[in-house]
Structure 1
């Protein structure tokens, strides 16, 4: 059951229902208020609901997209079968999805659209940073598969998030950026081996 950020059951009579499309596409505070006015709330409840929206969403709900909403809902499953949906957490996952996109664009910009990885890779010929990230990727894949087999979706999501955020983006990409500033022979051997 999805509840509001304060733990209250979402209910039309309380005016605290959040339409998933409003999270995916975004909505202004005025739009939230208009939706409340179109419902059948008692005038006193309407005032309380509008005040609640004003406190919880002073600038409305920003566009978060489908992927961020799905990832947030999956990450909540570790708590219990009751989810206290905090829109700011969904916004955080939207920012993370954007970071993923930027990491992929970075890789494409450095290797080019015509890059085809070799069929066989010899890890011993790769720089230490590449060996390190591949080792962590292997562990993350194993942990994710185990979590999925046990239907521990939150653990799987957490593993994927952690690898992309903390190992790949925060450490590895920053560590390899110097390779791209000049003609580093170590990078060239890694590129041709990878």
Structure 2
């Protein structure tokens, strides 16, 4: 009778020891997965900041081109309408002067239009990249459900793992929640 009581106490102690190991391992696995998700969120946040910085760089340059071209357009318009030639010049020289000022105005108008177009395209592409390609990896319900550990999962893994003799019985092979011990052993072989 005492032998059975001793055997029962030893089995209970091994069960409790292995159960504590299972709980410790599951806490470590959960901490690791949560840290992985946090680091992944930080990584994608950095990607998103890089995209925003590139968009702002392009927009900043285009605003500078837009400002300079608009100022030159104003001065070329003033020169075209109010500019006077001090000396009497032949008509073909005046014609060349007015044509060159008008063509400069057209090139400046084209520069303003293209700088506005580039700025709008840069904004649009930045929004598209942020909303479609570099989204934050928010875990879904399935991933969050895989993180939780239940003691029922420990008990489903069989008597071999629950009553393993410490140190002598080999390494512990805990499965993921809901995974059976035989599937774990097959994966290792």
TM-score category of the 2 structures, normalised to the smaller one: under 0.3
The one of the two structures with greater contact order (alpha-carbon pairs below 8 A, sep at least 6) is: 2
User: Which is higher, the Rg of structure 1 or of structure 2?
Assistant: 2
Q: Per residue, is there more helix in 1 or in 2?
A: 2
